[in-house]
């Protein structure tokens, strides 16, 4: 499968009812990196090997073979982490095709094609294929891919949000648009370089060169042949300690699991709840986030005394109490105030910055830089460089191709008009945050 690397196990997926096995295997071995500053030599392309087609071919070539023979062929051909799962899935594949009258099993468990099923008689639609993966299943594979890359480089990583929340029952199941993975920030560059070498592309973001109140915490990567993104985190907004310390704090309590048969790590239930609540309170305008916040907070309210005490302990260690104090106090969870007035104000302003708009962030920056630096901030706001205009005021295609001089002037005018319209509300937010 293009865009994949060392995912070396299998997992049946529900939507294809055991008729296809997902064997993900590298084009050649992936050596562990000697140092985390450079990516390992990753296999060029990893193939989705079929594996119902592989099994079907094994039956055809031998004119009939036992189920055990099929299992042995798979074990010989693919690197398998969980043989028990593979054997169960192969037997499910056989049973499904026997039920569909495409295979028959004779005495001695010998599997062969039904006599009526000649190559010319079988419709292509009857052959098992893996084209019906749902976004949820793609997401699990993306998590597995990310952990496979991290493991090949010896980099610590854990998954967050999405399937982690569902694992703990902290969010009702739903399809995700991306797979969120939190990488050890020391080795973030090595991980993303390896991801890029497999054809994943950093997603264009208009706000990347704009002023910000809350710092960037992740970048998204997409692949032309994958329907979802991989969102690579090095921090999470609302946490008040250093990014490396935050990662280590959560890593200490991580649990082991698997995604698409790949060994992975996920935060503890308590830390997963913390991340989800911070994610929700940061996006106050989203009805989905508000509903998810109500859901997870109500669950926390039903936790045992020990779990609630653990939650308080983890929040204190992460210096993440202040964003959640209002919502958790309603459930009887008492949290100390940890942030300074300046830190609280930064959060209050930051969560009100609108996507794609920098007016409020520019005013906040102007307020906090030295008098000597203020003219430069103003000039950059009124007349940014051509490169910044192209990046922030265009689509990805235009950004790559460039803009003409007249198009840049139009974009500057559009940017100024938008800033003037947003100015009154931005000033109101800043004044309110002072009170």
- Quick: pLDDT tens for 107-155: 555 566 554 443 333 343 443 433 446 778 788 888 988 998 898 899 9
Domains of the chain, start order: 14-130 (1.10.10), 136-334 (3.30.460.40), 357-434 (no CATH)
- Quick: pLDDT tens for 34-67: 343 333 322 222 333 344 556 666 776 666 677 7
Question: Which parts of 78-140 are beta strand (E)?
Answer: 103-106, 110-113
Task: Return the higher-pLDDT residue of 281 and 140.
Answer: 281
State residue 335's pLDDT score: 95
> How far is 386 from 407, CA to CA, in rounded Å?
11
Q: What are phi and psi of 5, to 5 degrees?
A: -140, -140
Mean pLDDT value of segment 297-317? 95
- Quick: pLDDT tens for 363-398: 777 777 788 888 877 787 777 777 777 766 666 555
Least confident piece of the model among 251-255, 311-315, 401-405: 401-405
Q: Which residues pair with 178 in a beta bridge?
A: 229
* Res 204 pLDDT > 60: yes
State residue 239's pLDDT score: 96
> How far is 138 from 248, CA to CA, in rounded Å?
28
Mean pLDDT value of segment 241-246? 96
Distances (CA, A) of 343 to 280, 323, 359: 19, 11, 20
Query: Which of 258, 239, 237 has the alpha carbon at shortest distance from 249?
Result: 239
State the helix-helix crossing angle for 287-301 and 269-282, rounded to 10 degrees: 150
pLDDT category at 242 given cuts 50, 70, 90 is very high
* Res 82 pLDDT > 70: no
Contact 214, 347 (CB under 8 A): yes
* Res 233 pLDDT > 60: yes
* Res 247 pLDDT > 50: yes
């Amino acid at each position: 499968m293009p865009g994949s690397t060392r995912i070396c196990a299998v997992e049946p997926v529900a939507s294809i009812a055991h008729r296809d096995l997902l064997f993900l295997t590298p084009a050649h071995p992936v050596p562990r990196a000697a140092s985390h500053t450079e990516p390992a030599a990753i296999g060029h392309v990893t193939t989705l090997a079929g594996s119902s087609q592989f099994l079907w071919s094994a039956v055809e070539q031998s004119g009939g073979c036992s189920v055990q023979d099929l299992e042995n062929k798979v074990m010989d051909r693919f690197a398998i982490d969980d043989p028990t799962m593979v054997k169960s899935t192969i037997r499910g594949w056989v049973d499904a095709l026997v039920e569909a009258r495409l295979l028959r099993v004779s005495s001695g468990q010998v599997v062969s094609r039904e006599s009526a099923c000649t190559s010319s008689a079988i419709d292509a639609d009857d052959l098992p294929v893996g084209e019906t993966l749902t976004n949820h299943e793609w997401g699990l594979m993306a998590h597995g891919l990310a952990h496979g890359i991290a493991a090949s480089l010896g980099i610590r990583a854990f998954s967050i949000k999405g399937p982690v929340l569902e694992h703990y029952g902290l969010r009702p199941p739903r399809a995700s648009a991306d797979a969120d993975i939190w990488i050890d920030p020391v080795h973030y560059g090595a991980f993303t370089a390896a991801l890029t070498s497999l054809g994943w592309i950093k997603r264009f973001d208009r706000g990347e060169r704009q002023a910000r109140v809350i710092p960037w915490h992740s970048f998204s990567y997409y692949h032309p042949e994958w329907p979802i993104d991989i969102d690579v985190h090095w921090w999470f907004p609302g946490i008040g300690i250093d990014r490396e310390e935050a990662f280590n704090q959560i890593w200490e309590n991580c649990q082991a699991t698997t995604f698409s048969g790949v060994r992975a790590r996920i935060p503890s239930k308590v830390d997963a709840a913390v991340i989800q609540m911070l994610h929700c309170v940061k996006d106050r305008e989203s009805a989905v986030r508000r509903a998810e916040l109500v859901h997870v907070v109500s669950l926390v309210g039903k936790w045992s005394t020990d779990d609630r005490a653990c939650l308080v302990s983890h929040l204190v260690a992460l210096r993440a109490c202040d964003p959640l104090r209002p919502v958790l106090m309603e459930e009887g969870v008492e949290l100390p105030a940890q942030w300074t007035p300046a830190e609280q104000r930064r959060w209050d302003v930051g969560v009100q910055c609108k996507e794609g708009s920098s007016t409020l962030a520019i005013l906040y920056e102007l307020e906090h830089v030295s008098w000597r630096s203020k003219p430069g901030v103003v000039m950059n706001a009124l007349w940014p460089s051509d490169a910044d205009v192209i990046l922030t005021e265009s689509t990805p295609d235009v950004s790559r191709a460039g803009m003409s001089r007249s198009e840049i002037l139009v974009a500057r005018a559009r940017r100024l008009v938008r800033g003037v319209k947003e100015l009154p509300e931005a000033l109101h937010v800043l004044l309110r945050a002072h009170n």
